[in-house]
Amino acid sequence: MTLLYVSTAERAAAWQPIFAEAGEEMIVGEAAVTDPAAVTHLLCWTPPRDLGRYPNLKVVISAGAGVDQMPPLPPGVALSRTVAPGIEEMVRDWVLMACLMLHRSMPAYLEQAARGEWKTHHTQLAQGCRVGIMGMGRIGSLAARSLASLGFPVAGWSRSGRPVEGVEVFGSDQLDAMLARTDLLVCLLPLTPETRGLMNADFLGKLPRGARLVHAGRGAQLDMDALKAALDQGQISAAMLDVTEPEPLPQDHWAWADPRVIITPHVAAVTDYAEGARHVLEVIRATRAGTEIPGLVDQAKGY
Ligand code: NDP
Ligand code: OXD
């Protein structure tokens, strides 16, 4: 089995000793491939255009948790998303930070601090701020447990409505009910045809007036014009976004200058080199053993 590694030289340099120690073959960059038939695994964010060049390719592995950037793969080629505790914990931490910042009125305090204004805003108990999390997968359920442990009443929404301990989970046809009981909405959904453009004007209007939004899923799930209108109408009071459409968000975009919106440049998680390499080694070993591929993506569902 041979891994073709398509990423930065810096990341490749970190992976090479890990692969050498594991006794696995790794080729860095397409230009170094002398025998395309030897390539069985490909690690990348977006794959090279011509995957047909690799007749024995078995698995494409996304360097992150998301796979929406992947084009359709040739028939028979499996897709794996990187599964790494570090990714999940980092996003959980970012979500906790964002929820606490919005719950404790930090956008208003940051704006006031910039002009030296000492003015207090009403602070509610965590118990009075109902959090709703869209996407109760690996990351959403982790974030839900942490937020619940801080005292927030947490509900979740997922396609299946699969139960998560300590959290009220709504199924796919119960979105409106979850939005109606949500003061602080967190989006941790994968980008699929069903979730693209989900957070539009109609959707935002179903939240209680003055709700807050935390978004770490994918930028294309949120209609930014609808967010601006909802902020101006007081329907949404503040938002914290780690993902935007497009990325990078243009310098002259209204959201940068709006004190009600805090933006971070898609940094909720970065894949730790060693954890990413460990995942790929597990994928290679599972392929060899004929067992289930870790992080296997259902390509029909898109996540
Ligand atoms: P998972 O695949 O583990 O979970 C996805 C969740 O979304 C599942 O609960 C799934 O429901 C639910 N879901 C998917 N489609 C729908 C739908 N149409 N309606 C309702 N629920 C739906 O993913 P992760 O938790 O690992 O990651 C989620 C996303 O977070 C990633 O795809 C990526 O976009 C984003 N992310 C962002 C990062 C950042 O740095 N900002 C870093 C890492 C990830 P069900 O349980 O029923 O299948
Ligand atoms: C990921 C991401 O999917 O960085 O890992 O968003």
Per residue in 205-230, pLDDT tens?
999 999 999 999 999 999 999 999 99
Same domain, 107 and 232: yes
Q: What pLDDT shows up at residue 263?
A: 98
Are 72 and 211 in a shared domain?
no
Q: Determine the pLDDT at residue 202.
A: 98
For residue 242 and ligand 1, the question of a CB distance below 6 A is answered with yes
Atom of ligand 1 at shortest range from CA of 194: 18
Going by alpha carbons, the residue nearest to atom 26 of ligand 1 is 138
Q: Establish whether residue 91 lines the binding site of ligand 1, counting it when its CB lies within 6 angstroms of any ligand atom.
A: yes
The per-residue pLDDT for range 253-302, each reduced to its tens digit, is 999 999 999 999 999 999 999 999 999 999 999 999 999 999 999 999 99
What separation in angstroms does the CA of 158 have from each of 78, 135, 137, 195? Answer: 24, 5, 8, 11
The per-residue pLDDT of the chain, averaged, comes to 97
Q: Does any domain span residue 294?
A: no
- Residues annotated as part of the active site: 218, 266
pLDDT at 67 (0 to 100): 98
Query: Looking at the domain assignment, is residue 300 inside a domain?
Result: no
Confidence of residue 239 (pLDDT cuts 50, 70, 90): very high
Supply the pLDDT for residue 268: 98
pLDDT digits (tens, 9 = 90+) for 98-128: 999 999 999 999 999 999 999 999 999 999 9
Q: 124 and 109 in one domain?
A: yes
State whether the Cα torsion 23-296-164-275 is positive or negative: positive
- pTM comes to 0.97
Say whether both 163 and 52 belong to one domain: no
Local confidence band at 149 (pLDDT 50, 70, 90 cut-offs): very high
CATH number at residue 71: 3.40.50.720
Question: For ligand 1, is residue 65 a contact (CB within 6 Å)?
Answer: yes
My answer on whether 157 and 212 are in the same domain is: yes
* Test site for ligand 2: of 271, 272, 279, 303, most ligand atoms within 8 A of the Cβ: 271
Indicate if ligand 1 lies below 6 Å from the C-beta of 288.
Answer: no
- Measured from the Cα of 175, ligand 1's closest atom is 20
Range of the domain at 283: 2-84+271-289
Residue of 115, 228, 99, 216 lying closest to 153 (CA atoms):
99
Residue 298 lies in a domain: no
Query: Are 94 and 53 part of one and the same domain?
Result: no
**How confident is the model at residue 269, as a pLDDT?**
98
Domain contains 93:
yes
* pLDDT more than 70, % of the chain: 100
Report the domain count for the chain. Answer: 2
Q: Do 224 and 91 sit in the same domain of this protein?
A: yes
- Specify whether 8 is located in the same domain as 52: yes
